[in-house]
Amino acid sequence: MNNDTKVDASPFDTFESRQARRLAKRDAVLLASVRMFNEKGFHNTSLDEVAAGLNISKPTIYHYLGNKEQVLLECVNRGLLLLQSASQDLRGEEGDAVGRLKTYLKKYAEVAMSEFGKCVLRTDAESLSKAGAHSFRERKSQINQELERFIQEAADEGAIAVSNIKITTFAVAGALNWPAIWHNIDGDLSPEEAANELVEVLFSGLQLRS
């Protein structure tokens, strides 16, 4: 590519550039909000404080996203989408089920350590309105079913040992979700490294292998 072909930008906004700027602003508000929800908890977060951190006013947040519950729901939706796309990316893939399972668990753990993933795991359905709580529970349970399916497929292939699928799924979900609840799993590791190590522990187990 030749950078010499670049021309000076027009001083007039195009529809696309206005649209992109609007989305970028919305994203900035979302990210500032999710960080504060994760740090202080939903109930102790005030949108005034989020707005002050961005040098904007609270009505600007209302304009882009709505009230505090609507902001939370949007954060949670982002996290749920990330978890869902981790499985969708793998659904079409060839190869052995145990390889897909391992890749899925690593991606899942990485999402769980991201701001939006944390927000999904730290949010109590009880904090949401009835309609919000219902769809939230529904989608979390879909993700649990996805996880169970990946584990079951690897078991059906004869590649992993599973005596109780519900309990195994629970143990795996707990180990991978826990960093979202307790923060700072290990300051020296990147989320990717921490995710790999967690999955290794789950695959190997504590007991020595002969």
**Alpha-carbon gap, residue 72 to 47, rounded angstroms:** 11
- Nearest Cα neighbor of 109 from 140, 147, 78 is 147
**Alpha-carbon gap, residue 155 to 119, rounded angstroms:** 31
Cβ proximity to its own copies, 54 vs 160, nearer residue: 160
Among 69, 89, 124, 192, binds its own copies (CB under 8 A): 124
For position 160 contacting its own copies by CB under 8 A, the verdict is yes
Cβ proximity to its own copies, 85 vs 204, nearer residue: 204
Q: What is the CA 115 to chain-centroid distance, rounded?
A: 7
Q: What is the CA 101 to chain-centroid distance, rounded?
A: 18
Q: Are 97 and 157 in contact (CB under 8 A)?
A: yes
Among 46, 181, 190, 192, binds its own copies (CB under 8 A): 181
Angle made by CA atoms 85, 185, 172, in degrees to the nearest 5: 50
Largest CA-CA distance found in the chain, in angstroms, rounded: 71
Among 28, 175, 190, 192, binds its own copies (CB under 8 A): 175
Among 1, 9, 131, 208, binds its own copies (CB under 8 A): 208
Among 70, 148, 159, 191, binds its own copies (CB under 8 A): 159
| Residues comprising the chain, all counted | 210
Cβ proximity to its own copies, 87 vs 168, nearer residue: 168
- Nearest Cα neighbor of 132 from 66, 72, 43, 67 is 72
- CB 8 to its own copies: min, Å: 50
Among 80, 86, 118, 177, binds its own copies (CB under 8 A): 177
Cβ proximity to its own copies, 64 vs 150, nearer residue: 150
Q: Which residue ranges make up the site for its own copies (CB under 8 A)?
A: 39-41, 43-44, 122, 124, 126-127, 151, 154, 158-164, 166-168, 170-179, 181-182, 185-186, 189, 194, 197-198, 200-210
